[in-house]
Structure 1
Amino acid sequence: MASSPSVTVEFSPKHSLPTKQPVAEEAKAHCLKWLPSDSASPSHFQKIVAELIGTFILIFAGCGSILVNKIQSLTIVGIGLVWGLVLIAMIYTVGHISGAHFNPAVTLAFAATRKLPWKQVPMYMLAQVLGATLASLTLRILFHEQDNIQPTVTQYKDTTSDLEAVAWEFIVTFILMFTISGVATDHRASKDVAGVVIGVTVLFNVVISGPITGASMNPARSIGPAVVSGVYKNLWVYIVAPIIGALAAAMVYSILRVPKPVAEKPEETKSTINQLYPHADP
């Protein structure tokens, strides 16, 4: 009986099974690249410097436009544009460092709603007042041809009562802080346009209430010119009303806020990915 033919199958090295799975490796690398990288947050000192310089530039440009208006008419719309545009510029310049408050009332409102540690509040406010004062002093030196910088001091007309002035400053500051709370602190909002929205809010607040009360909305903005010019009349209005307005707006917006979804920590996410793709190297 003839023997059956035998068949020998040889495996070439080039056809051997791979020790790693390319698909798993690619999938793991794709997942890991979207994890946030470890980066150091700004130090407290950096935040204070950012607030000081940002407030200086804000007051220098905003109050500077008021003095320029005495030389070349800008109208209230032009002055409002300067305030709004310089605020937009500063928000995008140092907002990622300090939050771009430039305003003690905003800082207090953030602290009251747990968006800022209370221990950072005193230095924030000191930097803001110091920046506003230095800006006012600089303007006084540069505009020496004018007798003083009293036009930059926030005052309201004699026909406006103290209560009306408080109401005006409360309302415009409430509008400003309510806007900030919505576009800058709510995780559902688009942060890319936050600076523009806040700047536009300051613009229309200045246009509406500027001719009546000066549209301070900011204790530092009023304290700086008052210290340099030596005019402290009705200064309490521009300290008390903006603070109350900002606190009220932050509290009211907290009613509209929803809890932020709890996200996994990067380390936990990496551990999960490693469990899914144990043999893949990114």
Structure 2
Amino acid sequence: MSSEQKSQNKAPSGSVDSGITLINPHRKISGSDQANVKHIENATRRTSSGQTLRNEDAELFPEEGNGAGLQNAPTQETEHSHKSQEELQHESHISNLRQSVGLPDELPIAEQHEETERFNWPTFRLIFREPFAEFFGTFVMVLFGNGSVAQVLLSGRQASAPGGDGYGSYQSINWGWGVGIFFGIYIAGDSGGFLNPAVTLGFCLFRGLPWRRFPIYFLAQFLGGFVASGVVYANYINAIDQFEGHGIRTVAPSPTATASIFCTYPQPFLSKTSQFFSEFIASAILMFVVFALKDDSNPGAMGKTGAGALFPLGLFLLIFGLGISFGWDTGYAINLARDFSPRLMSYILGYGPGVWSAGGYYFWIPLVAPFCGCVFGGFLYDAFIYTGPESPLNKKWWGFKELYENSRRHQESKRLEKRRYDA
């Protein structure tokens, strides 16, 4: 054996010559050397492909922490390499705008659609996508609901209809509202609004829906019901003229009143207490069942994992059931967007101040009772059934202590900001 070979065999495998680790090719590779070889191969392969080292290399050397501080550099092969700096800044701006109105900062766009060119309107749509969904969901719900009422009422004198007593019955109205909520929820999705400001309030109180979303959801739902009632009126204007007389628009108790197409009016024998209780109890049932359908931990829920994709069907059955059980007294408004918005539209369309004074100024009952009922129904469900951490009823002192501490921190932050401003 030559002296050169002897010197090579004497050199330890971990020795360094000019910064290069030497490994004896005639010696069996140990476990640690295998890790060295794999690490070098990984580094060589990624360097040649233009990628930087990733943290996964640290798994080969846990004792040394190699690669623990490495981050993916914005090279051509990294996640956002296909986006320019201007596009990334644009997305950041959109996220900030969404946060400012209480919406989640994640852009609501499918990954396969990210390459689509973005102009002004699509950008605006990305910012307000959830409110748009609430608007059109409420629009479809009221369109089906008010449309079914209009058809049943205005066709009642049509002897040519099947059966000779019009195109529909009271059950047709319940079907109309049920189908409307079914498709409306499919349009709006799982935004937390659910086409009803009172339900939105319940999710803000008991499920952690950010309070900043409440105003924009409320506005979207209100406008959806308002526009839908106008569309129903435009569709049935000739039938209304035939039913009441051209240009005549009346409110109950007129025998030819058509104002009930758009909003609810109570039976004349009901007291104010009965009017309020009818709307209150129906709204409480609505919120209680909605929470049950959305509760993944409820063992009585469908499939024992919540309603899931069957949630719209569950709401359809719920609204249909409320109609056949609590609909006669007050018309089961249970929703400001379905009652007050169309009521305002009917006033604008010429039904006059009677839309406010009818039933002893009943109009405020569907404004207030659904909110009270939904809060009560949500409280009952969380107090006796729900175990999730979102509900304040499952926190210490029912969340009042946390609310007080958050208020104090907010006030302290405002004082510090004022001091910095004065300084």
Same fold (TM over 0.5): yes
**Which amino acid counterpart does residue 319 of structure 2 have in structure 1?**
V
**Which amino acid counterpart does residue 222 of structure 2 have in structure 1?**
V
Shift in CA distance, 134/186, structure 1 to aligned 2, threshold 3 Å: same
CA distance in 2, matches of 1:124, 1:93: 14
2:394 matched to 1:243?
no
CA deviation map 1:213-256 (0-9, x unaligned):
01111011111221111212311100111110001111111121
The equivalent residue for 1:232 is 356
C-alpha deviation, 1:186, in angstroms:
4.1
The equivalent residue for 2:270 is 160
**Which amino acid counterpart does residue 277 of structure 2 have in structure 1?**
A
2:262 matched to 1:134?
no
Any gaps of 5 or more consecutive residues in structure 2?
1-36, 39-105, 109-125, 156-165, 242-248, 250-257, 299-305, 348-354, 390-423
CA distance in 2, matches of 1:186, 1:113: 15
Q: TM-score by structure 1 length?
A: 0.74
CA distance in 2, matches of 1:259, 1:127: 29
2:274 matched to 1:150?
no
CA distance in 2, matches of 1:140, 1:74: 18
C-alpha deviation, 1:180, in angstroms:
0.4
Contact 2:137 2:188 in 1 (8 A): yes
Contact 1:109 1:247 in 2 (8 A): yes
**Which amino acid counterpart does residue 174 of structure 1 have in structure 2?**
A
2:252 matched to 1:252?
no
2:145 matched to 1:62?
yes
C-alpha deviation, 1:118, in angstroms:
0.4
CA deviation map 1:85-129 (0-9, x unaligned):
221122233314x24511111111111114311001011111111
Contact 1:90 1:100 in 2 (8 A): no
The equivalent residue for 2:170 is 76
CA deviation map 1:13-64 (0-9, x unaligned):
xxxxxx99xxxxxxxxxxxxxxxxxxx5536611100011110110011011
2:185 matched to 1:101?
no
**Of 209, 221, 237, which residue of structure 2 is paired with 1:116?**
209
CA distance in 2, matches of 1:253, 1:193: 20
Aligned residues: 225
Larger Rg: 2
**Which amino acid counterpart does residue 274 of structure 2 have in structure 1?**
E
The equivalent residue for 1:45 is 128
Stretch of structure 1 that moved more, 217-226 or 147-156: 147-156
**Which amino acid counterpart does residue 173 of structure 1 have in structure 2?**
S
Shift in CA distance, 177/41, structure 1 to aligned 2, threshold 3 Å: farther
Stretch of structure 1 that moved more, 128-137 or 192-201: 192-201
Task: State the identity as a percent.
Answer: 29
C-alpha deviation, 1:182, in angstroms:
0.7
CA distance in 2, matches of 1:197, 1:190: 7
Stretch of structure 1 that moved more, 210-219 or 43-52: 43-52
CA distance in 1, matches of 2:224, 2:234: 15
Stretch of structure 1 that moved more, 177-186 or 57-66: 177-186
Contact 2:192 2:209 in 1 (8 A): no
Of structures 1 and 2, the one scoring higher in RCO (CA 8 A, sep 6+) is 1
The equivalent residue for 2:46 is none
RMSD: 2.3
